[in-house]
Chains A and B, each alone.
Chain A
Amino acid sequence: MKSFLEITNLAVKFNTRRGEVTAVTDVNLSLNKSDVVAVVGESGSGKSVTAYSILNLLGKNGWVDQGNIEFDGMDLIKAKKNLIKNIRGREIAMIFQNPMSTLNPIRKVGDQLSDMLRQHSQASKETAPKKIAQLLNQVEIKDIDRVKNAYPFELSGGMCQRVMIALALACDSRLLIADEPTTGLDVTTQKSIMDLVSGLAKKNNLAVILITHDLGMASEYCNKFIVMEKGRVVETSDDHEIFKNPQHPYTQKLLAATPAQNSKVEVLTPIPPEFLLETPPEPSEEILLAIEGLVKTYVLTDTKHKTFNAVDGVNFKIYKGECMGLVGESGCGKSTTSRIIARLEQATQGRVLFEGQDLNLISDKQFIKSEFRKQIQMVFQDPTGSLNPRHTVFQLIAEPLKRLENITDRSELDSKVHQLADQVGLNSELIFRLPHQLSGGQKARVGIARAIAVKPKLLILDEPTSALDVSVQAIVLQLLERLRRELGLSYLFVSHDLNVVRMLSQRILVMQNGKIVESGNTDEVMNNPQSEFTQTLIQAIPKMVS
C-alpha cells in the first residue's frame, strides 16, 4: 500500500540571476497518517524547497524538474490548478516562520479566518463567527473577542503563530507542514507553540512535516527524521536511533554541533581541537568592568512624555580573563546594556567603571581618541549587516588599525592583517574578497578579526552566533574560546540561548524587563536556578532525546 504522502526522486530547479540552479535533487520521503516527520538541515539544504514543492508554491521562477509527489493517491505534480487550490489549506495546511508577517497586516484576524472558512465552504457568513471562536479556542487563545477584532500588529508573535495554526486547522486538513514555525520566537514561546502543535496533531490525527534546523526540537517532537544537506537527503531514520548512532558524517557533525544540556565547547566538533583539551587558565581576581546602577530611559515618541526604562538599575562586575554570559528574551534590555558599555549609546544614569575609570564622564569626542576605544570592542549579531558591503576583507580588518592605531604604512598593515586573518583561521586568499563573496562562517571570522585587531581588553559578543547554522556556530564558539584563552580576553557574551552561553561562560546573568533576575556561577544557575524566570528558560530548551 502506498503511504499517505510519497515523494520520489524529487528535483527542483530555479531560474535565478546566476542562471538555472538546482535546489534539490533526488529527494525521497514517505509519510503515513499520524506520522510526525522532521526534515532537518542547515540553511541551503533544500528542506523548505521540498516542503513548498508539495503544494506547488515554488513561485514563478521555480519548477519541479523531476520526480513525483503523491498525496493520498493524487498526483500533485500533474494535478490541475483547481485541484491544487482545493488541496491547499483544505487537505494540506501550512504554517510558516515569522508569524507576524505571514498574516495580512491590514486585515483583522477574524476576517482572515473567515476568508479561509468561506473559501473552503466550511462556514457561511452566519456560522463563521461561531466557527472562528471554536478555532481560536482550540489553539488556546483566551480572549477570543479581542483577538478576533485585532490586527496582526496588535498581537504578539506567539499569538500570531497560534492564529496561523488556527487557520491551518480551519478545514480539518490532514497534513500540516510546519516550516520553522518557532524561528524568531522567544524560547518560552517556542515551547508552548510546539507543544500546541504536537498536541493538536495527536488529537486531530494530523500528519506533520516539521522543517527545522534544530535537532533538539526534532528529537523532542518527531518520530521520523530526514537529514538534508545541499539539496540532498543524507540520512533517514524511522526512530530516535539516529541520535545515538548517526551514520552519515554530516549527521554526526550536526549532532555534535548541536548544543545539548551537557555538551562542552570542545565536543562541538566530532574531533575536538587540541588547544581546547588543555585546562583553561583561572580567571583573575582583578575587576575589569564594574556596572553600577545602570539606567537607560527612552522617551516614547507617540505618547506624551511617557518614558520607558529599557535598562532599569543594573549592577554587575566582570573580572579579567572571564567570560560573563548575559541571557534574556528579546526586549529585556541585554542589547542596550551591551551597547552602553561599548559606548554606542549613552546611559541615562549609573556608572560604567572600566579599570576604575567612569566612562560616562568622558565626552564622545574624547572617548574616540582615548585608549578605552581600543580596549572595548564588539562582535555583532548579524555577520552580513555588520560588514560594510563595499569594503574588502582587508579594508575591514585594517580599518580599526588605521583609525585607532594610526598605522598607515602599507607593509605594516599588510602583515598585521594577514596575522589577524591567520589568528581567526581565515584563509589568506579570501583577503581581497567582498563580504557577499564570503560564507556566513567566514564573515563571522572577519568580524572577530576586526574586533581583536586593536587588542581590546573587553570584547562584547552580541549574539555572535544567532544568525549562523549550528555547524558554523560550533566552530565560531570554539574560535572564541581559543582566543579568550590565548589572548587573555574578557567577554561579555550576550545571547538569548542559555545553552550556548553556558558553554563559554564562567558566570551567567539572567535579565528580564531591564533588571537582572539571576546571577551566579554557570553550574549553579543551570542546575539550581533560583528565579522562576530562569527556571522557565531552562525548561524551554528542547531536550535531545537519545
Chain B
Amino acid sequence: MANSTLKQLWYILSQNPISLFAMLLFGLFVLVALTGWMWIPYDPLASNTSIALQAPSAEHWFGTDHLGRDVFSRVVIATRLDLFIALSAVAISFVIGSALGCLAGYYGGWVDRIVGRLADTILAFPLFVLAMGIVAAMGNSLINVIYATALINIPFYIRVARAEVTIQRNLQYVQAALLCGNTHLRTLAFHVFPNCLPALMVQLSLNMGWAILNAAGLSFIGLGVRPPDAEWGIMVAEGANYIISGEWWLALFPGFTLMLAVFCFNLLGDALRDLVDPQKRT
C-alpha cells in the first residue's frame, strides 16, 4: 500500500521534472530555515559602516547593505521568519476557513448564506489593501501582519472547503456514516472533513506562496516586520532606493529568494494537486 503510493509519487515526479525540482527546493528552504543560524558566515544584524554597500565578492557573496551587513547572511536568516509568518497565517486561515466552509457546505441554508456573504464581503475588497488597512488599524506589528494575511486568505479556504464538502456530502458514505449512528456534526468532522483534506492541502500550499508575497508586500510599504530583523520584503524595500544608483544586489538577492520561495510553493501546490486529482490541475 505504501509502496504503491510511493510508486505513484515517483511516476508523477518522473513525468514532471518541475515538481521534482519544487520538492527539492522546498526541502532546501526548510533546511535553510532550520539550520541557517548555524552556518551563516556573519552576524546578520552586525553593522559595519566601513564596508557598507560593497558589491558581491568572495567574502560577501551577496554583497553588503547600507549598514555594512552581510546580505547573504540576512537572506538566509530571513528564510525562517518568512516561512514562519506564512505558515502561521496559513494555519489560521486554514482552521477558520475550512471550518466555516465545511459547515456552510454541509448544512447549506442560512449557514451557507451567512458564510457565503462573509466570504463575498471580504473578497469585495482588493485584498492587499484590506490587509494594509487591518495592519494599519490594529497596530503595526508582526502578529497583526499574520492576522491580516490570515483574514484575507480565509475566503479561499471557505470556497474550497465548501465546494469539496458539497461534492462529498452527496456521496453515499456520508449517509452510511449517518446510518452507523453518527450525528451530523460527527459525520462532518470525522468522515467528510478528512476527505476534503487533499483539496485543502493543495490550497494550503498555493496559499503559502501567496502569504509570503502578501507579508513581503506589507513590509515593503513599511508595515509589519521591525528592523533590524531580516525579512525579504523589507530587504527589497530597503534595497529599492539603491537600485538606480547601481547597488542592485541589495534588492536583487532577497527579491529573487522571495520569488524562488513563492515559486517553490506554487509548484508544490501544483504537484500536490497532481497527486490528488490529475484532472483538476491548473
Contacts A388-B195, A434-B1, A437-B1: A378 and B175 contacting too (C-beta < 8 A)?
yes
Among B7-15, B114-122, B132-140, B201-209, which stretch is in contact with chain A? B7-15
Interface size of B as a range: 20 to 34
CA distance A380 to B4 in the complex (A): 29
Check A388 against B173 for contact (C-beta < 8 Å). yes
Confirm or deny: B17 has a beta carbon within 8 angstroms of a beta carbon on chain A. Answer: no
- Chain B's closest residue to A453 (CB) is B180
Residues of A within 8 A of B4 (CB): 18
Check A386 against B176 for contact (C-beta < 8 Å). yes
Check A403 against B8 for contact (C-beta < 8 Å). no
Residues of A within 8 A of B183 (CB): 365, 368
Residues of B within 8 A of A342 (CB): 175, 179
Check B181 against A382 for contact (C-beta < 8 Å). no
Looking at the assembled complex, report how far the CB atom of A10 sits from the nearest CB atom of chain B, in whole angstroms. Answer: 26
Check B173 against A387 for contact (C-beta < 8 Å). yes
Check A17 against B8 for contact (C-beta < 8 Å). yes
Check A385 against B11 for contact (C-beta < 8 Å). no
Check A387 against B195 for contact (C-beta < 8 Å). no
CA distance A266 to B195 in the complex (A): 40
Looking at the assembled complex, report how far the CB atom of A105 sits from the nearest CB atom of chain B, in whole angstroms. Answer: 17
Looking at the assembled complex, report how far the CB atom of B267 sits from the nearest CB atom of chain A, in whole angstroms. Answer: 19
Confirm or deny: A381 has a beta carbon within 8 angstroms of a beta carbon on chain B. Answer: yes
Check A385 against B180 for contact (C-beta < 8 Å). no
CA distance A318 to B281 in the complex (A): 50
Check A388 against B179 for contact (C-beta < 8 Å). no
Check B181 against A18 for contact (C-beta < 8 Å). no
Q: How does the 8 Å CB contact mask read for B1-38 relative to A, with 1 for contact and 0 for none?
A: 10010011001100000000000000000000000000
CA distance A450 to B178 in the complex (A): 12
Check A450 against B176 for contact (C-beta < 8 Å). yes
CA distance A19 to B183 in the complex (A): 42
Q: Name the one of B1, B12, B181, B191 contacting A400, with C-beta atoms under 8 angstroms.
A: B181
Check A385 against B173 for contact (C-beta < 8 Å). yes
CA distance A333 to B12 in the complex (A): 45
Confirm or deny: A26 has a beta carbon within 8 angstroms of a beta carbon on chain B. Answer: no
What would be 20 A-B contacts, judged by CB atoms less than 8 Å apart?
A17-B11, A18-B4, A18-B7, A18-B8, A339-B175, A344-B179, A365-B183, A378-B175, A380-B176, A386-B171, A387-B173, A390-B195, A399-B177, A399-B182, A400-B179, A400-B180, A403-B180, A403-B181, A404-B180, A450-B180
6 other contacts beyond A385-B173, A437-B1, with CB at 8 A cut-off? Answer: A342-B175, A374-B181, A387-B176, A388-B191, A404-B181, A433-B1
Q: Which 8 A-B pairs have the closest CB atoms?
A: A386-B172, A403-B181, A400-B180, A380-B172, A404-B181, A385-B171, A388-B173, A399-B180
Question: Which A residues lie at the B interface, using CB under 8 A?
Answer: 17-19, 339, 342, 344, 365, 368, 373-374, 377-378, 380-382, 385-390, 399-400, 403-404, 433-434, 437, 447, 450-451
